[in-house]
Amino acid sequence: MINASDFRNGVTFEMDGGVWTIVEFLHVKPGKGAAFVRTKIKNVVTGAVLERTFNPTEKFARAYIETKEMEYLYNDGDFYYFMDQETFEQLPLTHDQVADAIPFVKENTNVTVRFFKGSAFSVQAPNFVELEVVDTEPGFKGDTATNTYKPATLETGFVLQVPLFINVGDKLKIDTREGGEYLGKVGYLKGLMEGLDFSDDPSKGRLLTAMVELLGDLSDRVEGVEELMDDLNDYVESIDDDLAELEGSGGDDFHSINDDEYEDEYYDEMEGGEDHLHLLGGKADRDADDPETLAGSICPACSRMFFISLDDPDDAQYDCPHCGKRVTPTPLTPENAPIARPVED
């Protein structure tokens, strides 16, 4: 027998004809009134969860759950068959009895079968399993983000959410304890362990296994970084191509502010030593008969260039032709001038 005052997580007991295990507990001693034990308990057979309060002096019969490691063989549509690895006897179980474990278990996988008073009532999958992806949307180069997910179907039929870079044929490590959680892609270096014999020194085998798993994880991360760098290089090349195409199509009307020939031809410093530059060609020719009365300026709101009159005071305000805001323009200099764009007719 066990008193409720002795309840701890994992304790299993019989109550109301069922077998229950303590999931959470709290011993409460209020300032007034009797002490009590607040618990959350789970029926180990049906999976039902209850919140219940007990008197510390209540007594219950301990429930002794037996476990046995057995091998999952196959299912015939009605029953799932497991083999005792010592006696080779086969045990048929219904789908309800194996429902929690079977989504993560392949044939010939060892599982833990739980018994109460000699009768099997549930099956527990290994805490971690490795399963292959048989169906998912294809991953594309650069899909290395781990905070965006897509559905993937595993070889057991179980469907879970995985990162975008996962592809059909990838083998994944799954945590089965919380309903199936993706942990990562199994590193290819793990294959180096196959066929090695460490029976003479098991500790070496465990150490090498841990090292190979770590190297595999590092390899996957390096692969993701390499793909990201490839994407960045492709992006930079595309920008270079766009600029070259733009310059080729713009003809004489396209110039860089760092182009010395352009500066010599189109810009002169204003008289008086001020920093203003006025445009002697290009778009100004279309806007005024006397381009020397215009000065290039930068809109502080949208950072684009437009032209103002040299006769206006420095603090004069204008309506920016690009963003429409009324601003006091910043004088245009070679340092702050944007790349000039092709002039549109």
Count of CB atoms within 10 A of residue 112's CB?
A: 14
Query: What pLDDT is recorded for position 202?
Result: 62
| Residue 299 token pair | 């809109």
Residues 48-70: tens digit of each pLDDT:
889 999 999 999 998 888 889 99
Q: How many helices (H) and strands (E) does the chain have?
A: 4, 23
Q: Is the dihedral of CA 91, 94, 100, 105 positive or negative?
A: positive
Q: What is the pLDDT of residues 123-157, one digit of tens each?
A: 989 988 999 999 998 876 555 555 688 999 999 99
Amino acid letter at 23?
V
292-326 pLDDT, tens digit per residue, is 556 778 888 888 887 777 777 777 888 888 888 88
- Long-range contacts of residues 26-31, Cβ cutoff 8 Å, at least 24 apart: 27/56
Average pLDDT on 317-340 reads 75
Tell me if 224 sits within 8 A of 165, measured CB to CB.
yes
3-class SS shares of the chain: helix, strand, coil, % to 5: 25, 35, 40
